[in-house]
């Protein structure tokens, strides 16, 4: 049934993947009765949130497992396509930083997707939503989320076969488990990239503020579009600024345009979320901002791969931690501060200049 609907709506027949492969993964086909019971008939009190695709409900299965059930809003061809892509793709990938699919139900007019329930909501709730005032995301948690989401994306780009471009990387699609580990969610817009194909041209989908210019303008989609969105997300994690803000007079400014003058002046403190109250490692901050700016370069050729980003992020966050320990052991080593990461400082200096000079950004637009 699902396979049939996926075949009907797939834009590109090369995207077809074998359902039998999915059997390697522990997802199941639920009955409607079970999901109705789990969510108390999709009671409003069970509703976690609502997106463009439909509403998400908390539930508990008869086995006592907490689940999140996404219920498709309307049975349009477009929605059914998104449902099929989401289930097909999530059903075949497993990674610690990707939201796990538990199963689905497809029958009549009802399309339901069942995920692992994530008790700490999405990143957007913490950065701009209901939990923003609680300030649960301190600097180490933010860096851990940045590394985790980068690893999830790197897996999609470089390890999944065929490679997967997510196309909707944003704060509401990064969900946090009980340990605040990042899980990348929402694969409804994802594209499978056959071997040897560098980019595809498609209808533009995604969210304003996160769209790479070449994708927004010409529908040119490649892994580097996700890298761009990740750069925006990284700046958002650091600053808690929204990707797009409306200035007085109705002019829109994106987060890169906002951050760029501070980067050029070397005023990195100004980019950090004021709610952190200065509790961050300034060297890490500087490095991570530079990585974000590299990712959000207007020219896709200047953007790093997600593998590179993971390496840089781990290096930036990890090395400093090591050095802090060393400093604890022998306070006199403070003077050697730059020695350990000479290579990364070199890359920063060189790349930051390259990146800020070349950053000819164009207005992004939607669909």
Q: Is 229 in the site for Mg ion (CB under 5 A)?
A: no
To the question of whether residue 357 is assigned a binding role by annotation, the answer is no
One of 118, 216, 291, 310 touching ligand ATP (CB under 6 A)? 118
78-94 burial string, b = 16+ CB within 10 Å, else e? ebbbbbbbbbbbbbbbe
Question: Out of 24, 45, 109, 168, which one is annotated catalytic?
Answer: 168
Q: Is 185 in the site for ligand ATP (CB under 6 A)?
A: yes
CB of residue 284 to ligand ATP, shortest distance in Å: 27
CB of residue 262 to ligand ATP, shortest distance in Å: 29
Q: Is 134 a catalytic residue?
A: no
Cα–Cα distances (Å) from 218 to 89, 170, 249, 358, in that order, read 25, 21, 29, 20
- Per CB under 5 A, contacts with Mg ion among 37-56 are 51
CB closer to Mg ion, 38 vs 56: 56
Q: Is 173 in the site for Mg ion (CB under 5 A)?
A: yes
Q: Is 53 in the site for ligand ATP (CB under 6 A)?
A: yes
One of 6, 27, 83, 115 touching ligand ATP (CB under 6 A)? 115
The three-state (H, E, C) secondary structure of 116-147, written as one string: ECCCCCEHHHHHCCCCHHHCCCCHHHHHHHHH
Q: Is 122 in the site for ligand ATP (CB under 6 A)?
A: yes
DSSP string, 288-340: HHHHHHHHT-SSGGGSPPHHHHHHHHHHHHHHHHHHHHHHHH-GGGGGGTTGG
Applying CB under 6 A, the span of 117-125, 242-250, 269-277, 291-299 interacting with ligand ATP comes to: 117-125
Residue number closest to ligand ATP, CB atom? 51
Residue number closest to Mg ion, CB atom? 186
- Per CB under 5 A, contacts with Mg ion among 178-197 are 186
Q: Is 82 in the site for Mg ion (CB under 5 A)?
A: no
CB–CB of 190/164 below 8 Å? yes
CB–CB of 315/341 below 8 Å? yes
Strands 28-29 and 101-107 come out as parallel
Count of other CB atoms within 10 angstroms of residue 136: 14
- Give the catalytic positions in this structure: 168
Binding site for ligand ATP (CB under 6 A): 48-53, 56, 68, 70, 99, 115-118, 121-122, 172-173, 175, 185-186
Binding site for Mg ion (CB under 5 A): 51, 172-173, 186
């Amino acid at each position: 049934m699902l396979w049939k609907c996926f075949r009907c709506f797939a834009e590109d027949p090369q995207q077809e993947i074998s359902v039998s492969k999915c059997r390697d993964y522990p997802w199941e086909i639920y009955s409607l009765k079970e999901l109705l019971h789990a969510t108390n008939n999709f009671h409003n009190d069970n509703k976690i949130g609502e997106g463009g695709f439909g509403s998400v409900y908390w539930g508990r299965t008869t086995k006592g497992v907490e689940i999140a059930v996404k219920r498709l809003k309307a049975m349009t061809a477009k929605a059914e396509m998104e449902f099929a892509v989401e289930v097909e793709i999530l059903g075949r990938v497993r990674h610690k930083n990707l939201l796990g699919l538990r199963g689905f139900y497809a029958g009549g007019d009802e399309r339901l997707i069942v995920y692992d329930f994530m008790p700490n909501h999405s990143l957007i709730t913490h950065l701009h939503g209901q939990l923003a005032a609680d300030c649960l995301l301190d600097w180490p948690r933010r860096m851990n989320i940045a590394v985790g989401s980068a690893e999830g994306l790197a897996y999609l780009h470089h390890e999944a076969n065929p490679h997967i471009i997510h196309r909707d990387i944003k704060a509401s699609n990064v969900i946090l488990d009980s340990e605040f580990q990042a899980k990348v969610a929402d694969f409804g817009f994802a594209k499978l990239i056959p071997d040897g194909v560098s980019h595809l041209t498609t209808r533009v989908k995604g969210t304003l503020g996160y769209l790479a210019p070449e994708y927004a303008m010409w529908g040119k989609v490649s892994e580097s579009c996700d890298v761009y969105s990740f750069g925006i997300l990284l700046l958002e994690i650091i600053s808690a600024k929204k990707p797009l803000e409306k200035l007085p007079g109705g002019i829109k400014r994106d987060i890169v345009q906002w951050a760029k003058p501070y980067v050029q002046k070397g005023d990195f403190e100004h980019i950090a979320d004021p709610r952190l109250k200065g509790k961050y490692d300034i060297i890490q901050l500087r490095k991570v901002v530079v990585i974000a700016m590299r990712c959000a370069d207007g020219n896709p050729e200047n953007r790093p791969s997600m593998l590179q980003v993971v390496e840089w992020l781990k290096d930036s966050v990890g090395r400093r931690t090591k050095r802090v320990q060393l400093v604890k052991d022998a306070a006199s080593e403070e003077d050697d501060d730059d020695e350990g990461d000479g290579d990364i400082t070199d890359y920063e200096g060189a790349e930051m200049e390259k990146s800020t000079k070349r950053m000819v950004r164009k207005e992004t637009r939607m669909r």
